[in-house]
Structure 1
Amino acid sequence: MNEVGVILAGGQARRMGGGDKGRLRLGSTSLIEQVIARAEPQLDRLILNANGDLGRFDDLGLVCVADSIGDYPGPLAGVLAAMDWAAEHQVEWVVSVAADTPFFPLDLVERLRATGAPVTLAATPDPQRGRLPQPTFGRWRVDLRDDLRAALNDGVRKIRQWTQRHGEALVVFETDPMDPFFNINTQADLARASELLACK
């Protein structure tokens, strides 16, 4: 399959006091190593989106790509950076996963791929809205990159503000017995993730 996975790690982790959230310890490894271990079996190629000194990730053995849009505009900029890398390497699709979400489904890529839509996002059931999108987990057609770049330069920051213009599909993943998209934003979340990991 002509696609590449990107781990989105370009944020500033303000709620954790800054720094690289992916380097936090979870079990016997770091959070980002947990994410890599989950993503690698699903994808032939995997890269990392981050900002600042990319050399600090050399130990992970992944190609690192930085945002091309300044001032930390959010996950869409990381998707665009991966799209630009993919275009340079004649890759047609990008699959994004978040660096702070260590339990995402092991069939994520297979199920996102199945829709064939230009953009497909993961979602979970929601009692009020029916489906709750998990927009940092998605599959993106690379030939949309110029449109995405223009949208970011026009100030678009919310992922679905852009994806809904492009035939977005949603794939719902169940949350029983646990939410596979549980993400770590605070020390309390990290403690909860440690509990969940111990139960797996």
Structure 2
Amino acid sequence: MPSSLPNIGIIILAGGEGKRMGGVDKGWCLYQETPMIVQVLGALETQYQSLYGEDASRPFFISANRNLSDYQALDYPVISDKRPGFCGPLSGIESVFNAGQVRALKIDRWITYPVDSPIVPQDYLERMALVKSDRFGVWRAGSRSHFVNLSLPSGVLPEITQYLNFGNRSIKGWLTPRSQQTDFVSSLSGLSDDQTSSFLNLNSPSDLA
């Protein structure tokens, strides 16, 4: 492992209601004839092995609230939200952080990725892993910031829990008071800012066509 890279944990966010998809579990929607969860995991696994070596343990977690046995069949820990109902991706992040503490994992930085973006930027993990230890990272593609794509220091669990306990859900809202500590991270793979297809976000059945 390159000395400049921290120990990372990777959270695949697949716990949403899928309202704009008609209530289906987006992780199992087919894109180019393959479930999106399979595409996302495959791309991130390849990047992780390239950065940390093929023999490195793969600290992947799937945040999911439905079809749990199907996700578990992918051979990664599946963590459901500890809060009742669908409280948004920040609740899923909180639950995985808690699971990481229970398992005494040595994670310096957590990186999130939503299951409904099946085309993963080729340098996503490396760019997000290199965010400085005391800062927050948000992915930016072109002119758009993707607040569900995060790079977080491992010590922020109490802040997330406090924010959620007040009934808040918005990741952007949680980060607003931390704007001076937030870096916006972009790909260096040479893709044009106008190539919106390089970072698809699929929210409706028509997007899958």
Alignment TM-score, normalising by the size of structure 2? 0.81
**Alpha-carbon distance in structure 1 between the residues aligned to 2:117 and 2:193:** 14
**Alpha-carbon distance in structure 2 between the residues aligned to 1:48 and 1:190:** 22
Task: Give 1:87's aligned residue.
Answer: 101
1:122 to 131, 139, 149: 139
User: Once superposed, which parts of structure 1, at least 4 consecutive aligned residues long, lie more than 6 Å away?
Assistant: none
**Alpha-carbon distance in structure 2 between the residues aligned to 1:106 and 1:45:** 19
How do 1:63-74 residues align onto structure 2 when only pairs under 5 Å count? 63-74=77-88
User: Counterpart of 1:157 in 2: which secondary structure?
Assistant: coil
**Alpha-carbon distance in structure 2 between the residues aligned to 1:190 and 1:52:** 21
Give 1:7 deviation, angstroms. Answer: 0.5
Equivalent residue letter for 1:64: V
1:136 is the counterpart of 2:148:
yes
**Alpha-carbon distance in structure 1 between the residues aligned to 2:16 and 2:126:** 27
2:195 to 145, 169, 177: 177
**Alpha-carbon distance in structure 2 between the residues aligned to 1:164 and 1:42:** 30
Q: Deviations over 1:69-119 (max 9, x none)?
A: 222111111111222222232322211000010112120111122231431
**Alpha-carbon distance in structure 1 between the residues aligned to 2:182 and 2:101:** 21
Equivalent residue letter for 1:120: G
User: Counterpart of 2:149 in 1: which secondary structure?
Assistant: strand
**Equivalent residues of 2:47, 2:122 under 8 A apart:** yes
**Equivalent residues of 1:6, 1:48 under 8 A apart:** yes
Equivalent residue letter for 1:175: D
1:61 is the counterpart of 2:75:
yes
Task: Give 1:49's aligned residue.
Answer: 63
Equivalent residue letter for 1:49: S
Equivalent residue letter for 1:30: P
**Alpha-carbon distance in structure 1 between the residues aligned to 2:204 and 2:161:** 31
1:164 is the counterpart of 2:176:
yes
Task: Give 1:187's aligned residue.
Answer: 205
**Alpha-carbon distance in structure 2 between the residues aligned to 1:86 and 1:92:** 11
Give 1:161 deviation, angstroms. Answer: 1.2
Give 1:20 deviation, angstroms. Answer: 1.3
**Alpha-carbon distance in structure 1 between the residues aligned to 2:15 and 2:99:** 15
User: Counterpart of 2:177 in 1: which secondary structure?
Assistant: coil
**Alpha-carbon distance in structure 2 between the residues aligned to 1:2 and 1:22:** 26
Alignment TM-score, normalising by the size of structure 1? 0.85
Give 1:53 deviation, angstroms. Answer: 5.4
**Alpha-carbon distance in structure 1 between the residues aligned to 2:47 and 2:39:** 14
Task: Give 1:196's aligned residue.
Answer: none
* Structure 2 gap segments, 5+ residues each: 1-5, 49-57
Give 1:140 deviation, angstroms. Answer: 1.0
* Structure 1 gap segments, 5+ residues each: 127-131, 192-200
**Alpha-carbon distance in structure 2 between the residues aligned to 1:175 and 1:188:** 24
**Alpha-carbon distance in structure 2 between the residues aligned to 1:69 and 1:10:** 12
Task: Give 1:108's aligned residue.
Answer: 124
Equivalent residue letter for 1:160: K
Equivalent residue letter for 1:4: G
Give 1:185 deviation, angstroms. Answer: 1.0
**Percent identity of equivalent pairs:** 26
